[in-house]
Amino acid sequence: MTATDEVELKHQGDPIAVFDRWFAEACETEPNDANAMALATASASGAPSVRMVLLKGHGSDGFLFYTNARSRKGREIAANSQAALLFHWKSLRRQVRIEGPLTEVDTATADGYFASRTRDSQLGAVASDQSAPLDSRATFIARYEAAEQRFEGGAVVRPPHWTGFRLDPVAIEFWLDRPHRLHERHLFERSTSGWTSTLLYP
């Protein structure tokens, strides 16, 4: 980390702008999927679960990903909208943690992104009952082939339960590796008056 990095984190008023710069750098240095992020959700009773998903958009309005709303994570989001994200960019020795509530995107946004996916991915979304028990791989392949036949010669229709969610950040923490585990941690928290930043012990 350079002195410029440290000054920027301490005094930058907009953590989204810091994320933009870090994400752009990760896209240049990470060998695979710089947009991969761990998504942590919890059940209504507070039991947590975590998995990797892909960031499909971000900005002042939040951090966007897509999934099957009938999956385990989808059911947990319906029961408890609070969630957390974690980006780990090993090539840069940096992490970003983001916390906040999730809201579902509108139909037009979900339709637009679904239409941008490859046809095979669209058919896979139609064929999959994500997170449900599966008796054999052959069953899934048969469902995929049935979807192929169903939509042959036409556009694949987005299943209504395949949708997107946007996390509205209320806390963003930037972590930078330092020698001897004397790491840098900068926490930004949002209130009605805007963002404030705090330096944390590693």
Per-domain boundaries in the chain: 3-107+164-200
User: Mean of the per-residue pLDDT values for the chain?
Assistant: 94
SS3 at position 23: helix
At 13 the pLDDT is 82
Please report the pLDDT score of residue 87 as a whole number. 98
Residues labelled as active-site residues:
181
What ranges make up the beta strands (E) of 25-133? Answer: 36-42, 48-54, 57-59, 62-68, 82-89, 94-104
80 forms bridges with which residues in the sheet? Answer: none
Measuring CA to CA, which residue among 147, 161, 195 is closest to residue 67? 161
pLDDT for residue 7: 46
Token code pair at residue 50:
């975590």
Q: What is the pTM of this model?
A: 0.91
Confidence of residue 68 (pLDDT cuts 50, 70, 90): very high
Mean pLDDT over residues 121-139, rounded? 96
Question: What average pLDDT does this structure show over 190-200?
Answer: 94
Highest CATH level, class, for 3-107+164-200: mainly beta
Reply yes or no on whether the pLDDT at 45 is more than 50: yes
